[in-house]
Structure 1
């Protein structure tokens, strides 16, 4: 595995700072935000200087019940080729559910949601990872995610789940130590046990990020400084293996260059602290080399389970049995808040038009209108919602929103099926109610 060194997540908001920052060996860029034929000039300059650029995907949904979409895989491969990257990364998560086979509409989470750590879900994930590996021109690494809630009836720990995934597929692992800390606070999972169970020889690199605790729940915000407990998990990992690379992620509320450089220095210090206190650690993996192809009945059961959960989170249907309803409510709020934030970025004219009314108006809309076609479609649907009869918008707002909508979609907003039919349909077909 190529030694990457210390890196930082490349974002347009900090592009100039990253270019000027000393000691940055490599960067990672969100794959879906890049156009292969029109790469940002900043990334091109970094590449010309010999800085490695790794595309980081967020939309494959490798942990979903469906097989990976060939078009999404081709798009990811195209970005790998355009960047000359030595590897590509994605997440162990599902991001959509519903559609054919579930008798329900296709629903988008707009965020990474945890996969149940069961043998059946592992079989599906392994098959999906193999499909992705065959379609991609470079090695694939997959990342453990942060979770606000846990699935009931899980059969494996996080470390065991990751070990078996790597053992059965040969996939590399992108270990996010901030996510291990998040799952410790939220679900009582021990980061040290997870590290002891991991196949560290499969480690591709490490993510480090900040978060915030609210009402006893840790939110992996990527908008706050890296806290000491996350650096402690990083040091523990570095005591077990020398990480090929470590990368700082920051996605919101970007600080100045000096603060970012300070965080990179703290990351280097944590790795050195772990290295000097290195130890031999026994791994209790529960390894299994048994191959279990994921049959269609297994995929269908997983599809129904994930659809029931996602419809509870975004369409207001009842929570499935066994889940912590309070935690699901926190996740629902987090999904809606993220939708509001991303739509504000992809369609900045809408918050400009609505002003302070944008966020409450969008959250009210999101509470009854699940996302089904990505964030750009969501922005158009929100604008159409503001133009519906009875929508709480004054004449000036309606006029400006209509002009914005027409410029992007045509003269008349399409009619919308009432959300109550969606909710009743999902409840009847998926939950049997």
Structure 2
């Protein structure tokens, strides 16, 4: 298979810029944002030009205690086939917990959370990866994630955990060097040690992204320029093995096209610097060909249940304001809880943009207060409706005009048929128009 080269994350907000940008060899698109039968024209044009498009999943939950959902796997496979992709990618993370496995309420994180680096979690992850591999038409690569908190009692380093995962399943690795930097700041982990432990022959490609530091915590925002320490880790990785592909991620706060092009140039320079430093140690570049799939032993349900109980306790503390499980850093867990609520607020703002327009600067603090002990359970559209109802229930919107706008927004969307299209409402409005003309 051909090398991927230098790429950028395709997002609707920068679609035109990506199409015009020179030197973009490939793009990556968030799988959940694509409809196979109605792919964006921009992606279709890129495909016609021979630009590779890779679907990148964010909600499969390979690190969940439960087995991967067949419907989500089928959707990911459908997107890979629609795009003619050489591989698909997902995260080493858990995104939901609870339910029948633990006889507790089913909870959604709304974002990626770290799995504990324990033998139990590794066994479950390997089994889930194998299930996903068997369901997908192309190879799978999995990404290390950024973490704001650490699990107590971990048994493996990040490098060891990823090495065993790749060795036991044959899965490819998507290494995010920005996440290695995040874990250096937040968890005191050495990126150089992780790189030394990784099976770089399993490398599919590399992510590069920006973030920011606040109060000693690094936030992997994907909304800021790529900092020098992240480029330095990329150089170190390239000195060990030339990556088949490197991709710049940017999800919001998009700069001018010239700035994005400049970041792509900095990425190329960092890789070239690493290859020059490698000298005689240069090895053949790995590719994203299909890897061998060793046998993976089935996981006992008791192991899944142990992991499920631990994940449910943590997620409940993060999104439902229940007690913090023993061994976790309470301060860091509070930071993670605020981050989850903030990301949830951002998604609801995109699903229901009228609400932040109505509430202005009061939208975000109001949503965070609403989300404190109200977990995400029915999807983001339901979340937006519940938030509006919460605002109205106790008169939390002081301004009378804004309160009326929220009430009308909720009333229009809360039924199975839009309020304005209900027969009685349409008749009343038509009658009112006739009376006004008299």
Q: TM-score, normalised by structure 2?
A: 0.90
Q: 1:180-222 deviations in whole A, cap 9, x for unaligned?
A: 0110111111111111111111100000001111111111111
What is the alpha-carbon distance in structure 2 between the residues aligned to residue 344 and residue 325 of structure 1?
A: 28
Say whether residues 1:160 and 2:160 are aligned partners. Answer: yes
What is the alpha-carbon distance in structure 2 between the residues aligned to residue 324 and residue 29 of structure 1?
A: 35
Q: Does the Cα contact within 8 Å between 1:110 and 1:374 map onto a contact in 2?
A: no
Q: 1:98-137 deviations in whole A, cap 9, x for unaligned?
A: 1113222111111100000001100000000000011111
1:6–1:321 CA distance, 2 compared to 1 (3 A):
same
Say whether residues 1:362 and 2:367 are aligned partners. Answer: yes
Paired residue for 1:409?
Answer: 414
Which of 358, 362, 366 aligns to 1:353? It is 358
Paired residue for 1:321?
Answer: 326
Say whether residues 1:305 and 2:310 are aligned partners. Answer: yes
Say whether residues 1:25 and 2:25 are aligned partners. Answer: yes
Paired residue for 2:54?
Answer: 54
What is the alpha-carbon distance in structure 2 between the residues aligned to residue 213 and residue 204 of structure 1?
A: 29
What is the alpha-carbon distance in structure 2 between the residues aligned to residue 204 and residue 114 of structure 1?
A: 21
Q: Secondary structure at the match of 2:393?
A: coil
Which of 335, 342, 345 aligns to 2:340? It is 335
What is the alpha-carbon distance in structure 1 between the residues aligned to residue 295 and residue 130 of structure 2?
A: 15
1:196-275 residue pairs with structure 2 within 5 A?
196-275=196-275
What is the alpha-carbon distance in structure 2 between the residues aligned to residue 121 and residue 132 of structure 1?
A: 16
1:347 is displaced (CA, Å) by 1.0
Q: 1:301-352 deviations in whole A, cap 9, x for unaligned?
A: 1000000000111111111111111100110111111111111111111111
1:367 is displaced (CA, Å) by 1.1
What is the alpha-carbon distance in structure 1 between the residues aligned to residue 398 and residue 406 of structure 2?
A: 10
Paired residue for 1:74?
Answer: 74
Q: Does the Cα contact within 8 Å between 1:96 and 1:108 map onto a contact in 2?
A: yes
> Max radius of gyration: which structure?
2
Say whether residues 1:373 and 2:378 are aligned partners. Answer: yes
Number of corresponding residues: 406
What is the alpha-carbon distance in structure 2 between the residues aligned to residue 365 and residue 294 of structure 1?
A: 38
1:80 is displaced (CA, Å) by 0.8
What is the alpha-carbon distance in structure 2 between the residues aligned to residue 160 and residue 45 of structure 1?
A: 41
What is the alpha-carbon distance in structure 1 between the residues aligned to residue 271 and residue 417 of structure 2?
A: 57
Q: Does the Cα contact within 8 Å between 2:127 and 2:298 map onto a contact in 1?
A: yes
Structure 1 unmatched runs, 5+: 282-288, 414-433
Q: Secondary structure at the match of 1:343?
A: helix
Q: Secondary structure at the match of 2:7?
A: strand
1:91-170 residue pairs with structure 2 within 5 A?
91-170=91-170
Structure 2 unmatched runs, 5+: 283-293, 419-438
Structure 1 consecutive aligned stretches of length 4 or more whose deviation exceeds 4 Å: 289-292
Which of 289, 297, 301 aligns to 1:296? It is 301
What is the alpha-carbon distance in structure 2 between the residues aligned to residue 278 and residue 374 of structure 1?
A: 48
Q: Does the Cα contact within 8 Å between 1:94 and 1:115 map onto a contact in 2?
A: yes
1:404 is displaced (CA, Å) by 2.3
Q: Does the Cα contact within 8 Å between 2:148 and 2:336 map onto a contact in 1?
A: yes
Paired residue for 2:403?
Answer: 398
1:411–1:261 CA distance, 2 compared to 1 (3 A):
closer
Cα RMSD after superposing both structures: 1.7
Paired residue for 1:34?
Answer: 34
What is the alpha-carbon distance in structure 2 between the residues aligned to residue 234 and residue 222 of structure 1?
A: 16
What is the alpha-carbon distance in structure 2 between the residues aligned to residue 383 and residue 186 of structure 1?
A: 35
Q: Does the Cα contact within 8 Å between 2:127 and 2:296 map onto a contact in 1?
A: no
Paired residue for 2:64?
Answer: 64
Q: Does the Cα contact within 8 Å between 1:57 and 1:91 map onto a contact in 2?
A: yes
Q: 1:275-304 deviations in whole A, cap 9, x for unaligned?
A: 0001649xxxxxxx8955321000001000
Q: 1:380-404 deviations in whole A, cap 9, x for unaligned?
A: 2212222324444544333322332
Q: Does the Cα contact within 8 Å between 1:406 and 1:412 map onto a contact in 2?
A: no
Moved more, 350-359 or 270-279: 350-359
Say whether residues 1:194 and 2:191 are aligned partners. Answer: no
1:407 is displaced (CA, Å) by 3.1
Q: Does the Cα contact within 8 Å between 2:126 and 2:296 map onto a contact in 1?
A: no
Q: Secondary structure at the match of 2:173?
A: strand
